[in-house]
Structure 1
Amino acid sequence: MLQFSDYDYIIVGAGSAGCVLANRLTEDANCEVLLLETGGSDRSIFIQMPTALSIPMNTKKYAWQYHSEPEPYLNNRQMHCPRGKVLGGSSSINGMVYVRGHAKDFDEWEASGAEGWNYQQCLPYFKKAEDWAFTPDAYRNQGGPLAVNNGNNMQNPLYKAFIKAGVEAGYMETADYNGKQQEGFGPMHMTIKKGVRWSAANAYLKPAMQRPNLHVQTGVQVDQVLLEGNQATGVRFQHDKEQYSVKARREVILSAGPIGSPQILQLSGIGDKETLDQAGVELRHQLPGVGQNLQDHLEFYFQYKCRQPLTLNSKLGPFSKLAIGVRWLLFKTGLGATNHFESCGFIRSKAGIEWPDLQYHFLPAAMRYDGRSAFAGHGFQLHIGHNKPKSRGWVKIKSNQATTAPQIQFNYLQHPDDIEAFRACVRLSREIIAQPAMDPYRGEEIQPGAKVVSDEEIDAFVRESVESAYHPCGSCKMGSVEDEWAVVDNQTRVHGIKGLRVVDSSIFPTIPNGNLNAPTIMLAERAADMIKEQTPAATNEVEVALDAQWQHSQRPNAPARG
């Protein structure tokens, strides 16, 4: 039997947010913290070696292998939704891409009811978290826990050719999309340090685990928050078929992610009465927004054959993989030390869109996330997706058992604007790859294929081919008590329940234009100050670049060709 005392704070989930909170709260030596995690150790070469990113994501040991309900607007396909089940959570299984989102995304949070979460107030916490590999400025910082760089610095010529093609097509070039100007094409940033995945576990949790006031317990399944009236007093969980109840002197903090956090709230009787009745759970506190407002990014692979033998498709054989692995084990360098997404682009899908809503990840290979080759030969691909979807879904428990996976419905492409944006993804991508910079490399279009041209043909391709970009969020929305869907207030406190917070990407009001690990870590850094009742970091008043002609043009300049 395990032995537990009472703790000041109990954090549920050792993912990106939970690791940050465990570190920051235990900076106070008088504060006792218990961190609970279902998964186990992250000591695996497949987690720590960046190029192996597809393996932990698709391994039951390291990830919850959730699937959505049949998606009605995607030909009833059930979409894969892996979530981290290991120390570091999804930061230990993700693609390590570091994107903060556009400044306007956070102004949008505030406008939707999350008072005080505008960009100028969030920026100091992005900076607090960061250890930027290049020259710091008003937007970037050195000395934080989270290492950020450009991997192998675009040694493959395809990376720079893609950036040049974007400029030739009439778009801007940006030296730092996480700085003053997101819009445009430039080098991509990743959370890697000295060739190793720099997860939240490596950056935040492992240093904190040296402190005597942090207790980390793995292998547990939390099934409910304990309540006395409207006061959260602790949690109940299972470990090795034994049940435990542990009390929190101050607060319980859910950081179980956009699937786990609403599931635990609903299992605790906090949520919509109809959902809880159907699952056999007694309603303790009516909060209809729990599980609602679910959002995610979709993307597809735009693939081309490559006319020159310089892509990663030649490195997929067993001997090449062995050589890459051995070099990484010995020196932490080479192709094993990058996620291979080293250049990117952020553009607007049409005139009248104020800030970018489409994102490119460029990969000098034609392959899937699971590592399978697209065809025999050399190729490259763009991961392209619409990043500001208007479609909304939900998470609902099916029973009163924590071991039963909840129902997940994203309703991808429910909104017609999302369909229109994906048509732009196809047409604008073709135009970019048709530019002179890609002439030495561009071969036959593999996917979607040159015959996919009309709206109807593009829509059919998208419905059949899009995949999740693994960015679910929004299912415990942050907002004012007047908002029916709001679950937490702007201090991350659950509406109507004392001593209970949710701190993870589930509380994002709207999804940012970019990958979600960076804003999740920022949010947790800021929430830690709120929990400790510290004076918030000084607001950064910095300039944000926008295309002055955004209302009238889709890009700043006419394309050079195509």
Structure 2
Amino acid sequence: MIRSNSDVADVVIVGAGSAGCVLAARLSDRTDLSVTILEAGGSDRSLWVHMPIGYGGAFYHPQLNWRYYTEPDPGLGGRRAYWPRGRVVGGSSSINAMVFVRGHAADYDSWAAAGCTGWAYADVLPAFRRLETWAGGESRWRGGSGPIHVRDMTRAAHPLSHAFVTAGAALGHARNPDFNGADQEGVGINQITVRDGWRSSAATGYLTPALRRPNLRLLRDATATRILFEGSRAVGVEFLRGGRLGRVMARREVILSAGAIGSPQLLQLSGVGDPDRLRPLGIDVVSAAPSVGRNLQDHVGYDLVFEATVPTLNATLGPLWARGRAGLTWLMTRDGPLSLSVNQAGGFVRGDTGRTRPNLQLYFSPLSYTRATPGRRRLTMPDVFPGFMIGVSNCHPKSRGWLHIRSADPQDRPELHAGYYSAPEDMDEMLDAVPIMRAIAARPELSRYTRRELTPGRDMMDRDALETFIRETTTSVYHQCGTCAMGANAASGAVVDPRLRVHGLEGLRVADASIMPLIPAGNLNAPCLMIGERAAEMVSADL
């Protein structure tokens, strides 16, 4: 039986993910504000969450992961893409690969140039610095006392990761010790959100310490079903928890931080969207906003796989006895391969000399594997032989997708249309990356440890054959964003204004990856944390 109850807070936040945790912590620092945050997932008290390399176990975990699938995608030859998203306190910051990249400075300057005042790199840099404790120490570019701890993997990375960097530098790519410093371009060792051998998530860094405050309340396992309106003003959120329908009313504001899928889904369920799509579903239109769920962007990638002549992480993470030894090392010392990410090195490079900034992100893993069958609990099963992978994604894809609810039932998954490679330029960039990766692999600094290119094989040189290979092997890099895009006005296709207020409505904001008008270069967790910081500044000032 569904029963109804209600509560009240000054600010109601939907989603305890990367941005939501930041918002809850920063706003509850004000003693004059009461804050309630709703999270559809459960506790983050799981070894798969807190052990850094445990993200492989969380990749298909039904209690930690939404496990979304797209509709069959023409760009992938009709395959469905798998989109893991965190369904747990901390959101995707609790299950991601922990690579910390802010994005290129020009990415944010392009936001400002498009009308998003207050989002140029000079505006967001203080927020990036404020959110982190960088192991390399505070500087003009880096923060030294923030809630998120960022580790340098240089000393701990596998020798092949260093060989990759040296090979890339020998080809003329700049050796870059800090992708989050003065310049993003070049090759180097990745940085990860790890503290003393434990994952440093938005939950552990921001939310958990803040929950000691009497003015902050977290409701776990609470799935938001709709936003409550009085006229054009958001006044609360309805949610389902333990089979009961509840309400939490907002005296001041409702903020959606449910992610690039959850936030537009909730807006549409609440009558904010395309009237021609909502009315046939029996949903009363509160605000005509056809752009909700549009502008969907994502990074996609593929790998070249190589057989190595020296031991790789296959030997460490494959055999049961080796995994047991690595686990014992981590339990006793919080060190070793389980305290790291397998995405150890990479870079940002230009596909051709005519570009003004990098357009390709490279990934190096001293591990090779056959991807798990969708639905299995584990991400990878390392190959029985030593191997490594060099992967790529294009930083600023032109392709766009969209999402929309199927029905008025909040528990019915929305339809997700990725639109991968719908812009031909994206495939051109991915094809241009093949000789770049092969050139790095052919350098003696790396080739001396290489037996052969396994996939697709060095003999595959034909551009049409390579395009087929890319379409058959491309996967999401899990950077969905843009579905509630920020912009100066609704006429331009924006859903929220530069202060993240939903156009045409009062008391309602969105603050998560969905507000990104253009996807930044690199991994998106750091930008999502920054959005939480900027949103907290704006909300606090406006209140």
TM-score (normalised: structure 2): 0.96
Query: 5 Å matches for 1:91-240?
Result: 91-151=93-153, 153-240=155-242
Aligned to 2:470: 462
Residue 433 of structure 1 aligns to a residue whose secondary structure is helix
Q: CA deviation at 1:303?
A: 1.0
What is the alpha-carbon distance in structure 2 between the residues aligned to residue 439 and residue 222 of structure 1?
A: 53
Q: Do the aligned partners of 1:278 and 1:398 also contact (CA within 8 Å) in 2?
A: no
Q: Do the aligned partners of 1:153 and 1:342 also contact (CA within 8 Å) in 2?
A: no
Aligned to 2:335: 333
Q: Does 1:57 align with 2:74?
A: no
Query: 5 Å matches for 1:307-322?
Result: 307-322=309-324
Q: Do the aligned partners of 1:154 and 1:342 also contact (CA within 8 Å) in 2?
A: no
Residue 149 of structure 1 aligns to a residue whose secondary structure is strand
Aligned to 2:40: 38
Change (3 A) 1:210 1:130: same
Q: Does 1:422 align with 2:430?
A: yes
Match of 1:443 among 429, 447, 451: 451
Aligned to 2:511: 503
What is the alpha-carbon distance in structure 1 between the residues aligned to residue 492 and residue 290 of structure 2?
A: 7
Match of 1:354 among 335, 356, 361: 356
Aligned to 2:415: 407
Q: Do the aligned partners of 1:33 and 1:215 also contact (CA within 8 Å) in 2?
A: yes
Residue 224 of structure 2 aligns to a residue whose secondary structure is strand
What is the alpha-carbon distance in structure 2 between the residues aligned to residue 311 and residue 225 of structure 1?
A: 47
What is the alpha-carbon distance in structure 1 between the residues aligned to residue 126 and residue 470 of structure 2?
A: 38
Amino acid at match of 1:97: V
What is the alpha-carbon distance in structure 2 between the residues aligned to residue 418 and residue 251 of structure 1?
A: 39
Q: Does 1:485 align with 2:489?
A: no
Give per-residue Cα distances to partners, 1:45-69, cap 9 Å, x unaligned. Answer: 1111111211112111001011001
Aligned to 2:326: 324
Amino acid at match of 1:414: S
What is the alpha-carbon distance in structure 2 between the residues aligned to residue 323 and residue 173 of structure 1?
A: 34
Give per-residue Cα distances to partners, 1:229-269, cap 9 Å, x unaligned. Answer: 11000011111111112210000000000000000000000
More displaced, 352-361 or 513-522?
352-361
Match of 1:517 among 505, 512, 525: 525
Q: Do the aligned partners of 1:106 and 1:117 also contact (CA within 8 Å) in 2?
A: yes
Aligned to 1:74: 76
Q: Do the aligned partners of 2:225 and 2:410 also contact (CA within 8 Å) in 1?
A: yes
Give per-residue Cα distances to partners, 1:366-388, cap 9 Å, x unaligned. Answer: 12564434643101111211121
Aligned to 2:375: none
Amino acid at match of 1:244: G
Q: Do the aligned partners of 1:357 and 1:388 also contact (CA within 8 Å) in 2?
A: yes
More displaced, 85-94 or 371-380?
371-380
Give per-residue Cα distances to partners, 1:465-486, cap 9 Å, x unaligned. Answer: 0100010000000001154420
Q: Do the aligned partners of 2:405 and 2:415 also contact (CA within 8 Å) in 1?
A: yes
What is the alpha-carbon distance in structure 1 between the residues aligned to residue 382 and residue 5 of structure 2?
A: 52
Give the paired residue count: 535
Q: Do the aligned partners of 1:62 and 1:86 also contact (CA within 8 Å) in 2?
A: yes
What is the alpha-carbon distance in structure 1 between the residues aligned to residue 93 and residue 14 of structure 2?
A: 16
What is the alpha-carbon distance in structure 1 between the residues aligned to residue 5 and residue 414 of structure 2?
A: 30
Q: Do the aligned partners of 2:312 and 2:388 also contact (CA within 8 Å) in 1?
A: no
Q: CA deviation at 1:177?
A: 1.1
What is the alpha-carbon distance in structure 1 between the residues aligned to residue 125 and residue 422 of structure 2?
A: 33
Aligned to 1:27: 29
Q: Do the aligned partners of 1:47 and 1:56 also contact (CA within 8 Å) in 2?
A: yes
What is the alpha-carbon distance in structure 1 between the residues aligned to residue 5 and residue 287 of structure 2?
A: 31
Q: CA deviation at 1:348?
A: 1.1
Match of 2:18 among 16, 19, 40: 16
Change (3 A) 1:226 1:334: same
Percent identical among aligned pairs is: 40
Give per-residue Cα distances to partners, 1:175-209, cap 9 Å, x unaligned. Answer: 21111111101121000000001010000011101
Q: Do the aligned partners of 1:151 and 1:192 also contact (CA within 8 Å) in 2?
A: no
Unaligned runs of 5+ in 2: 372-377
Amino acid at match of 1:476: C
Q: Do the aligned partners of 2:228 and 2:270 also contact (CA within 8 Å) in 1?
A: yes
What is the alpha-carbon distance in structure 2 between the residues aligned to residue 485 and residue 36 of structure 1?
A: 28
What is the alpha-carbon distance in structure 2 between the residues aligned to residue 113 and residue 155 of structure 1?
A: 41
Amino acid at match of 1:335: P
Q: Do the aligned partners of 2:5 and 2:247 also contact (CA within 8 Å) in 1?
A: no
Residue 192 of structure 2 aligns to a residue whose secondary structure is coil
| Aligned-CA RMSD value | 1.6
Change (3 A) 1:283 1:3: closer
